[in-house]
Structure 1
Amino acid sequence: MPRHTAYAVLAGLAAVVVLVSTAIFVGVGNSDGNIDAATRNPRSSAAPASAGSWVGTWSTSPAAAEPNTLRGYAGMSIRNVVHTSVGGSQARIQLSNLYSARPLTITHASLALAAAPSNPTATAGTMRRLTFGEQSWVTIPAGQAVTSDPVRLDIPADADLLVTTYAPRASGSVTYHPHARQTSYLARGDRTEDTVGVAYTEQSPYWRYLAAVDVWSTEAQGAVAVLGDSITDGITSTAGANHRWTDFLAERLRTESGAPRYSVLNSGISGNRVLTDGTQVPPNNPSGLSRFRRDVLSRTGVRAVVIELGVNDILRTPHETDPDAIVAGLRRLTEQAHARGLRVIGATLAPFYGHRGYTPQLDAVRQQVNAQIRSGRVFDDVVDFDKALRDPIFPLRLRPSYDSGDHLHPSDDGYRAMARALDPQDLKGGVAAAL
């Protein structure tokens, strides 16, 4: 081969290598609200060469527009504290502007490990600036969500993360999750990359804007997403302790021999129903049916779904007294999950004796729904929360509700009992052949 021809061949091969490398490593942030879309095309120079996959490590469900926030939090830094279920070597986040009628512009965002549980101070050397399509700022249209580019950071399982955003201008109502059972923080001015938390003098029991965190994991096999109401939201668990039943389940999946190595994604909203939305536009507290795709099916790496819904359809006005209507809604959820190839575990409806709306007639509806769930014709498998919460070893505690009346909710031990009632082996395998 002539020397000039050989040089031309080598140059061509080098160009191919560059193009392939670029296709693998370069991309832009996702703005369609579906964080799972990025699992098909990791879009950053941070994408690793070794085997692994994206999986959700934490999520929450946008529940409503925060009251009295028509101007948003202009000129303030919001530092959300969230807890991982699995670890990884990279991370990315999803921000939601679902409940605003105006675009939200974030000019600075960051991610870091917390130096201590529920603390706004970052662990030394872990602060990372986040970008969106390789830009340090992003504008999220009204009603939409956006996913950041990945950043390299060794993230442990069972650890607190600090996700901080700064918006300089008024942005309309703030999309939030009101019952975080976790203290987050606010600071005046752009304190996004402050590693010391002294500027974060205002505490908050809410999560704002943040909807999900993904990690690049070589160990996790996928995620189990949980659709539920206040029991899944964990509104009577000890604040800051991560003692929701989903947290206890995540612990089991991390430590038990033979358990699937799944992360656990909590999509509980207090007062949530299967069939009926809240009253605002867009609806606050959207029904399980209306939010299932956004809050569950679109989450990253989901392999199985747990559904814990139906009590509030019976208890909240207008009362749904037809058990077949509730079961039909639960079946529709199962069908949607099956269309994605996902296995579905359904929970029996927990007891509500002690609620101010309790009547024997409404409890009879609950028991009829439970009978159909236990029949095996609604879900692929069943976890009996009704039985678990009646266990005398883990008595229920009556506490004030965050929405209406008095609800009978578990103590931390009760939430642990719920997690122990679910057999991790039931999360494995495919969907039932026929329901």
Structure 2
Amino acid sequence: MNKRQGYVNLAALMTAVALICGGIYLGVGTVKKRPEVRTPPVSAPAWIGTWAASPVAAAPVTHAPGAPSGREGRSVRNVVHTSIGGTAARVTFSNLYGTEPLLITGASLAVRDSGSPAAVTDSLRRLTFGGVHETTVAPGGRIVSDPVELRIPYDSDLLISVHTPAPGGPVTSHPQARQTSYIADGDHVQEEAGDAYTEQTLSWYHVTAVDVLTSEARGAIVTIGDSITDGVSATADTNSRWPDILADRLGGRYGVLNQGISGNRLLEYGRGPSTLERFDRDVLDRSGVRTVIVAIGINDVLRAPHAPTADNVTAGLREIADRAHARGLRVIGSTLMPCGGLYRCTPAVEAERLKINAAVRSGGIFDAVVDFDRALRDPYAPGRLKPVYDSGDHLHPSDAGYARMGGAVDLAAL
């Protein structure tokens, strides 16, 4: 449900001031402070991303309950959260890690009824692909659905349901979703009711992006990084990752697309391909992208004694900035947060981290910098996270830490 239900106009209470100053208008949110950006002028409708998740791995073929590819006739109802709204939507489905063709015999999109696997009445739309209801996605491929007309609210949940009639090999997924989705036996993708979806999962399956048609949003901001951007320590089902906090501050003016992968590295394959390798797919190919925030590198230096040097990481960050600039994007880079207390965070790792942060702060790589290090470090022990911002493992932030990160981004820099 939308967190911001309207704004109260106080101009009538300011009549005396208005007579002197020529008119002053103050907008005050009834639920939240008005987002810190100005409303853009109305423009021609455009396709802009409202949600995205990087394909990470193949869910293994298994006959265990809850495995989408493990038994014939499974339906998955993915729950995803919007950052902007629109008047129509289209969905991207992926078979990137599949080894066999992925047969989809039914898919749908709906606005979620609060806190359940059920859809808001009359919001469910059947998805088609080139005008037909069935499609096959080749191994390693992806497909975008035809657009459907539907009023998509921002800061709300959508249900993306997919039915696969038979096991088709490993399923492309995004684990660590920090969001409960649902699974049912049989084909239930066209049902508004959620009664059949009795099993739960904390992964997203098949789906990697949702775009909306809008004339109100100004574009999309992509956040690319590792588990800290993915939000693996955030409380599930609360949309508490730092990109979620940033989206709240922007109030539907920009889409915010989270392309974090837990365990990801900038330079080499870690969990999923390196950030350099997946940059085109996860940033440059996203709809309506205007700005990218790069928060990556700590997993590279934590590989000591076989880790790349600070110079190697800095060169990789510069390559990302150059590639984004070549496409006309604005690039914001982040400093690496402290990891003191983590057993792998040795003095050698700390020295490389500080060198990377000095290079990022120098202004020679990015258009702007968000200093997550200064925002979250303990002022009495700068090599560690401040306790209130530490999830307990000395590397990943708590919900309070994620809130601090999302609040540290200078909106004017976007």
In the alignment, structure 1 residue 51 sits paired with structure 2 residue 44: yes
Structure 1 residue matching 2:357: 3-state secondary structure: helix
Q: Give the 5 Å matches for 1:52-71.
A: 52-69=45-62
1:211 aligns with 2:213: no
Match of 1:237 in 2: 234
Question: Is the Cα contact below 8 Å between 1:394 and 1:417 reproduced in 2?
Answer: no
Matching residue's letter, 1:373: V
Deviation track 1:390-427 (CA, whole Å, cap 9, x = no partner) reads: 1678722244xxxxxx4522111111111111101111
> Match of 2:333?
346
Per the alignment, residue 175 of structure 1 pairs with 172
Match of 2:406 in 1: 419
Q: In the alignment, is residue 185 of structure 1 matched against residue 178 of structure 2?
A: no
Q: C-alpha deviations, 1:146-169, integer Å up to 9, x for none?
A: 100000111110000000000112
Q: Once the 2 structures are TM-superposed, how far is the Cα of residue 72 of structure 1 from its aligned partner?
A: 2.1
Q: 2:257 maps to which residue?
A: 265
Q: Distance in 2 between matches of 1:172 and 1:293?
A: 26
- Which secondary structure state, in structure 2, belongs to the residue aligned with residue 157 of structure 1? coil
TM-score (norm 2): 0.84
Say which of 285, 292, 297 aligns to 2:279.
292
Higher mean displacement: 353-362 or 336-345: 353-362
- The unaligned stretches of length 5 or more in structure 1 are 1-49, 256-260, 279-283, 400-405, 428-435
- Between the aligned partners of 2:340 and 2:348, the Cα distance in structure 1 is 12
Q: Select 1:221's aligned residue among 213, 218, 221.
A: 218
Counterpart in 2 of 1:155?
152
Residue 195 of structure 2 aligns to a residue in which SS? helix
Which residue does 1:370 correspond to in 2?
Answer: 357
| CA displacement 1:87-138 (0-9 Å, x = unmatched) | 0010010001000111101010000011113x20110000100000111011
Tell me how far apart the structure 2 counterparts of residues 332 and 171 of structure 1 sit (CA, whole Å).
Answer: 38
CA contact (8 A) 1:225 1:305 kept: yes
Residue 64 of structure 2 is aligned to residue 104 of structure 1: no
Structure 2 gap ranges (5+): 1-42, 380-385
Percent identical pairs in the alignment equals 53
Deviates more, 1:59-68 or 1:304-313: 59-68
**Shift in Å, 1:358:** 1.4
In structure 2, do the counterparts of structure 1 residues 246 and 398 end up closer, same or farther at CA, with 3 Å as the change threshold?
closer
Distance 1:69 1:224, change over 3 A: farther
Q: What residue in structure 2 maps to residue 93 of structure 1?
A: 91
Aligned CA-pair RMSD: 1.7
The residue aligned with 2:309 is 322
**Secondary structure of the corresponding residue to residue 47 of structure 2:** strand
Which residue of structure 2 lines up, in the alignment, with residue 83 of structure 1?
Answer: 81
- 1:197 matches 2:194: yes
| Shift in CA distance, 333/69, structure 1 to aligned 2, threshold 3 Å | farther
Q: Amino acid of the residue matched to residue 66 of structure 1?
A: A
For residues 407 and 136 of structure 1, the distance between their equivalents in structure 2, rounded to whole angstroms, comes to 48
Q: Using the TM superposition, give the Cα deviation of residue 217 of structure 1 relative to its aligned residue in structure 2, in angstroms.
A: 0.8
Task: Quote the Cα distance in structure 1 between the aligned partners of 2:111 and 2:222.
Answer: 24
Question: How many residues matched?
Answer: 361
Instruction: Pick from 246, 253, 257 the counterpart of residue 249 of structure 1.
Output: 246
The alignment partner of 2:251 has SS state of helix
Deviates further, 284-293 or 84-93: 284-293
CA contact (8 A) 1:321 1:365 kept: no
Q: Which residue of 2 aligns with 1:397?
A: 390
Tell me the residue number matched to 1:132: 129
The 1-side partners of 2:81 and 2:311 are apart by: 38
Give, in whole Å, the separation in 2 of the partners of 1:66 and 1:352.
Answer: 30
Task: Tell me the amino acid that sits aligned with residue 141 of structure 1.
Answer: A
CA, structure 1 residues 168+382, in 2 after alignment: closer, same or farther (shift >3 Å)?
same
Report deviation, 1:317.
6.3
In the aligned structure 2, how far is the partner of 1:391 from the partner of 1:299?
Answer: 36
Alignment partner of 1:199: what SS?
A: coil
Whole-Å separation in 2 of the counterparts to 1:146 and 1:317? 40
Indicate conservation of the 8 Å contact 1:394/1:414, yes or no: no
SS of residue matched to 2:312: helix
Q: Is the 8 A contact 1:321 1:362 kept in 2?
A: no
Instruction: For 1:109-128, list aligned pairs within 5 A.
Output: 109-117=107-115, 119-128=116-125
Output the CA distance in 2 between the equivalents of 1:158 and 1:142: 33
For residue 318 of structure 2, what is the aligned residue in structure 1?
A: 331
Relative to the length of structure 1, the TM-score reads: 0.80
Within 2, Cα distance between the matches of 1:130 and 1:144?
18
- Tell me if structure 2 keeps the 8 A contact 1:394–1:413: no
Judged with a 3 Å threshold, the aligned counterparts in structure 2 of structure 1 residues 317 and 132 are, in CA distance, closer, same or farther, namely farther
What is the CA deviation profile of residues 271-313 of structure 1, one whole-angstrom value per residue up to 9, with x for unaligned ones?
Answer: 11100113xxxxx511101100101110000000000000000
Question: Matches of 2:275 and 2:308 in 1, distance apart?
Answer: 18
| CA separation of 1:145 and 1:318: change in aligned 2, threshold 3 A | farther
CA distance in 1, matches of 2:305, 2:60: 24
Structure 2 residue 289 is matched with structure 1 residue 302:
yes
Residue 68 of structure 1, CA deviation: 3.9
Kindly provide the amino acid, as one letter, of the partner of residue 389 in structure 1: L
